[in-house]
Amino acid sequence: MKKRFSFGQKRLLRAAAMLIAALWMSAVSAMADTKLMVVSDLHYLEPSLYRGSDYFLRALRRGDGKATQYGEELMAALYQTVLFERPDALIVTGDLTFNGEQLSHRALAEWFKSVEKEGIPVWVIPGNHDINIADPLGYGEGMVYRVDGTPPEVFAEVYADYLDTGDAGFSYVAKVSSDMWVAMTDVAIYRDVAVTPGLFSSRHAAWLEGVLKEAREEGVRVVTATHHGLLEHTELYRDSFVMYGSESMGALCGTYGVKLNLSGHLHIQHIAHRDGLNDAALGAFCMWPHRYAVVTLGEDGKLVYDAKALDLRFLPEGFADRSREWFAGITEDKARGGLSGTDEEIEMMAEYAARFNLAYFSGTYIKDDPSWTEDPAYALLKSQGNTPFIAYMALVMNEDPGDNLHLEIGE
């Protein structure tokens, strides 16, 4: 027989149920992980600025491996990936556009709007290819033409919903959750015309110290984000890849217990470590294998960083092969130039050079894997003398063989 409750008892029961639900919800939210998704170096070029231009493809082919011609497919797949990952925020660490075209920025802002409509906040900082670029271009048939660039005030207007302005350029705090803030630190230099290096100045230091003090008082974990590197990653790319003033930022991180900086700029997936501080340089999204990272702050205070490749299921059939071939082809073209031997030998070496370069850039090169040195192409390459590629390989092979995809940091 069903037990019957009086009206008063029902109200009491309902109140008790609501209280239990509220307690459960607050316990869940107190225990909930904070999840960030990070992308960097989109180098997006609005398609009307290059569509149908073989001249653009030829120029890109002589470049550093960017697959900017696939921008539309990549952004569509990134949208699906963001919805799949459902982070608490999407963080973009600069080099949003190919070369500072205002049209590209406006198109990206629309894309960010579509992500925020799904309830996922987006936060951006500029890189060295975003503001006051000397020559933003569009590409036609056998020619280029100047297009509108992006001065700081236009950048501020276009991304008004996705950034904040402060005392140090576009440096601000993204308060992602009650447990975690991201100090979005704009170290790009663009007062007159943009230059490649970054700078963490005394103004940045005063701003960041204020943020870190406040976070300490509130008991909030801080992760910093910059476009340029905070630590030196590789001897290959030392100049202009680590920001000027990195010692000052590193010292503040040390004082206030910041253990993770999220950077880009290098285009190589690479994690550097020094005195308990980690600088995770994210591989460029515009290059195969189209990296993004997920950073999770768990209830146990552990920070976990995972670099991932864009999910193939969100890309057109055969896209990954085309994109990989594009990057490999660019490396092979560059390698062939300095090689001598039979056609067959040159092809062997060029293919090896591409495989090596792609493994390094994607963060999957394993130093201790003997197949790299046992490959006949390696001996052939070594016999070429001290070519730039051999020098590059030697530096990579001498690096610390750390894990460049995954990182775990305690409290």
Q: Under the rule (CB under 5 A), what is the footprint of Fe ion?
A: 41, 95
CB of 99 to Fe ion, least distance (A): 10
Closest residue to Fe ion using C-beta atoms: 95
Q: Which is nearer to Fe ion, 44 or 352 (CB)?
A: 44
The CB-of-86 to Fe ion minimum distance in angstroms stands at 27
CB-nearer residue toward Fe ion: 352 or 361: 361
Of 237, 245, 208, give the one whose Cα is nearest residue 224.
208
β 89-93/34-39 pair status: parallel
> 331: which 2 tokens?
């490396």
**Is the Cβ of residue 221 or residue 227 nearer to Fe ion in the bound state?**
227
Q: What is the DSSP letter of 183?
A: E
Q: Which is nearer to Fe ion, 286 or 358 (CB)?
A: 286
CB of 206 to Fe ion, least distance (A): 28
At a CB cut-off of 8 Å and minimum separation 6, what does 234 contact? 266, 268, 270, 395, 396, 399
Taking the mean position of all CA atoms in its chain, how far away is CA 197?
A: 17
Fill in the amino acid letter for 262. L
Cβ proximity to Fe ion, 90 vs 176, nearer residue: 90
Which of residues 95 and 186 has its CB atom nearest to Fe ion in the complex?
Answer: 95
Q: Closest distance between Fe ion and the C-beta of residue 404, in Å?
A: 18
C-alpha count within 13 angstroms, C-beta hemisphere, residue 162: 30
Closest distance of CB 36 from Fe ion, Å: 20
| Alpha carbon distance 205, 257 (integer Å) | 15
The C-alpha R_g of the chain, in whole angstroms, comes to 24
Residue 69 · residue 155 · CB < 8 Å: no
User: How far is the C-alpha of 124 from the C-alpha of 115, rounded, in Å?
Assistant: 13
For the bound state, the minimum distance from the C-beta of residue 184 to Fe ion, rounded and expressed in Å, comes to: 17
Residue written as tokens 């705090």? 173
Q: Which CB sits closer to Fe ion, 42 or 354?
A: 42
> Between 221 and 228, whose beta carbon lies closer to Fe ion?
228
Q: How far apart are CA 232 and CA 288, in angstroms?
A: 23
Give min distance, CB of 284 to Fe ion, in A. Answer: 6
> Which residues neighbour 354 within 8 Å (Cβ) at sequence distance 6 or greater?
327, 328, 329, 331, 332, 335
Beta carbon of residue 66, minimum distance to Fe ion (angstroms, whole number): 8
The closest of 305, 318, 311, 298 to 83, measured between CA atoms, is 311
- DSSP assignment letter at 292: E
